[in-house]
Structure 1
Amino acid sequence: MGPTTGRIQRNPLREAPADRVNTKVIQPAPPPEPENPPRPAGDLSRASLAKVADAAVTAWNDEALERRRLRRLSTVTILEHLARFPGTTWQQRWVAAGLDEYGTNPGDLGGEDKKLRKLFISGTRHLFCLRVIRPSLDAFRGHTYPNYALDFRLVAKDPLLDKFHAAVEASDATPAARRTALFDVACALTVFGISLADLTPEVLLHYSLESRRKQLTRGATKRGQEYNYAAIAAWHILYESGHFPPSAPHVLRAALVGGQKSVEELVDRQQLRNTNVRNLLVDYLRRRAADLDHSSLRQLARVLPGTFWSNVEKVNPDQADLRLSEETYQQWKETISVLPGGRPRLDMDGVLLKVRTFYLDLQSWAVAEPERWAA
């Protein structure tokens, strides 16, 4: 056990009950394109290879000549690769090179050469911090960049970001929660192309939901379902430090459960074609709502109208009822086995269980109330 500091180490991941926090409704929203995007070393989007490499060396202000040499070399290495692809900006070349997709790792450009792989990764990291490249969330999470938040802050020279780092350090969060908070904020600022001043509760909620939807939440696969939402610790510290307004929910969970939507709203998000099935799903979810908390109801509403029936309609637009042919069923299973970003779905068993329970419930209820459920 390490030395104590007199502070009680508390993990913000273990949040206060929702009825003890401000539950003002906010809606997740990506940030608008900033009028003056952050450019810590100036606008390098169309700069020459040499100018970007110079900026990388200057931004970190390394005293050691070997570090300066490696920083320049790694930046040149990735830029020389990008220069082979069409585009008038480095961002356009990055996309044209196929590096903005899920599953891409800049290190793979180096093949089996470990030194070359490291150069590609380091150079990419420099371009992210300098805001030369704005990666998608999928691309950024395609590789782990250790201590990225610290490098990002060093280059950004943003007083608000400095204040946030100080707030994280002064918080009573566990070391792991602090690291995660710093990472989530740096990640959000990087992929959205914004400064901390533009990181509103609406934007961070959008980041959290997108990370969960794409199964890219940091540490989620290690910690299990309880921690599937990103930015839990970051939200708490941003609120406590005064970055978020007092009217914002005190914790992320309150933002997630705030503004409970009706069953009709939950179903109609999917814009289903088949009115009869849509009405049946509304009736079914209303019946189940009596036994579920709102979070569980929302999850069920994502699966049945969304993962299940909206994809059935994509596979077979003329599907008239719940009697699926074996061909339609198998095509549906194949369709949902892969997430929109290309990742394999990890919760297939959970989806199938909810769908089977849906059918079994209807069969059971039809016996007791045939006039309502037998059709």
Structure 2
Amino acid sequence: MTRHGRVARTPVSPRDPALLTTSIPEPRSTARGSGRATAHRDELARLAENLLSEPTVRNLWRQQLSLTRIFDWLEGFPADTWQDRWLLSGSDDLGSGWGPRGLSAGTRSRFTAGLGTLIVLQVVRPSYSWLFGSRLLGVYDAYRRQNQPALFAELKQRAGGQRCDEHATEALNVLTRMSIVTGKDLLAFDLEDLTDYARARRDNGRTVTALPLAYDILHAVGGLKDSPPTLREAQARGQLTPAELIDRHPIANRAVRDVLVHYLAERSAVLDYGSLVNHAQMLADLFWGDLQRHHPAISSLNLTDEVAQAWKQRVRVLPDGRPRRTAHAVFLAVRSF
């Protein structure tokens, strides 16, 4: 920002492939799509039968019942794709508390089984925060058998040869979650996909201890092309500029984006790099990113009291419902801004 109150234009950083338009762009990790987003429920039910290792009459009946439950529920939300219906349900922000209220244990089990089938078929792609907060017994294994099974098998073999079973399994789960959420081929992942995953883990108060091993085994099978052989070397490539830090978070309004970039540039004179990264994430994601998700047409930093108070309530809680321990730091950063 200049001394006269005008905001100078700054170029979009090379790390933001989407031009900043009037609508909110898609996240950087864009899914290739399974082609089943608009498939009829009967077609998906037929595809699901191939997932059963023991297609007995009873198992087929149980699968059909689970899919009927989840299809009937999702069709209650007005959208053209199953993914959009899932998002409209609000469940993506609820973790283990997703779905209709007041379900019995048995009915909830059927809903969970049906949703797991849709995840395996790449019909529904929940967020990282949802996956972290949900127990999906058997879904990850089924997903690996259905999607790029030969490559997943090679990754499993390499992971097992390097670390203990528990650590190897978690490294494999890291790559599975990334595939579920982004919808990308394993060999199409890049460093920013892993960075997105690490950020999501930390935002949910979880560790990323298996991420280096996930990087190692993916690199060993031909993934992460043109990247160093280890995650440590890849992360040592240098510091991002204020513009690049802000542009890691899609901001629809160019004027607001420019204000954030100039403010971060000013703060860079007195903050270490780690603090600068945290500031960018708090301002561009937890503050403005949250506001534009809930108010897509928002274009002014002059918030009404109602909008501001609602934002404060949201930021106090993590996506899985737990209190955000760093909420006070977010408030302080926004107040200073």
> Which residue is equivalent to 1:232?
212
CA RMSD for the aligned pairs? 4.2
Q: CA deviation at 1:185?
A: 1.0
Tell me, yes or no, if the aligned pair for 1:110 and 1:117 is still in contact at 8 Å. no
Distance in 2 separating the partners of 1:349 and 1:340: 13
Q: CA deviation at 1:80?
A: 1.4
Distance in 2 separating the partners of 1:149 and 1:76: 22
Please, which runs of 5 or more residues in structure 2 have no aligned partner?
Answer: 1-13, 17-26, 249-256, 292-299
1:4-40 CA distance string (max 9 Å, x none): xxxxxxxxxxxxxxxxxxxxxx969833443xx34xx
Distance in 1 separating the partners of 2:261 and 2:180: 41
Tell me, yes or no, if the aligned pair for 1:209 and 1:229 is still in contact at 8 Å. no
Residue 301 of structure 1 is aligned with which of 241, 262, 276?
Answer: 276
Q: CA deviation at 1:128?
A: 0.5
Q: How does 1:1-375 map to 2 (within 5 A)?
A: 30-34=28-32, 37-38=33-34, 43-99=35-91, 101-105=92-96, 108-109=99-100, 111-169=102-160, 171-212=161-202, 214-215=203-204, 220=206, 227-228=207-208, 231-245=211-225, 247-261=226-240, 271-272=258-259, 281-285=267-271, 297-303=272-278, 307=282, 334=312, 337-338=315-316, 341=319, 344-348=323-327
Select the structure with the greater relative contact order (CA < 8 A; seq sep ≥ 6): 2
Give the 3 Å change call, closer, same or farther, for CA 32–108 of structure 1 in structure 2: closer
1:260 partner letter: Q
2:213 partner letter: A
Distance in 2 separating the partners of 1:93 and 1:305: 31
1:277-298 CA distance string (max 9 Å, x none): 767633323xxxxxxxxxxx33
Tell me, yes or no, if the aligned pair for 1:303 and 1:354 is still in contact at 8 Å. no
Give the 3 Å change call, closer, same or farther, for CA 98–353 of structure 1 in structure 2: closer
Q: CA deviation at 1:228?
A: 4.3
Tell me, yes or no, if the aligned pair for 1:181 and 1:234 is still in contact at 8 Å. yes
SS at match of 2:93: coil
Q: CA deviation at 1:75?
A: 1.4
Distance in 2 separating the partners of 1:49 and 1:308: 41
Give the 3 Å change call, closer, same or farther, for CA 82–106 of structure 1 in structure 2: farther
Give the 3 Å change call, closer, same or farther, for CA 178–204 of structure 1 in structure 2: same
Give the 3 Å change call, closer, same or farther, for CA 122–348 of structure 1 in structure 2: same
1:165 partner letter: K
1:86 partner letter: P
Q: CA deviation at 1:86?
A: 1.6
Distance in 2 separating the partners of 1:197 and 1:274: 33
Q: CA deviation at 1:192?
A: 0.8
Q: CA deviation at 1:144?
A: 1.7
Give the 3 Å change call, closer, same or farther, for CA 265–196 of structure 1 in structure 2: closer
Distance in 2 separating the partners of 1:201 and 1:268: 16
Give the 3 Å change call, closer, same or farther, for CA 263–71 of structure 1 in structure 2: closer
The count of aligned residue pairs is 288
Distance in 2 separating the partners of 1:196 and 1:153: 11
1:67 partner letter: N
Distance in 1 separating the partners of 2:184 and 2:241: 34
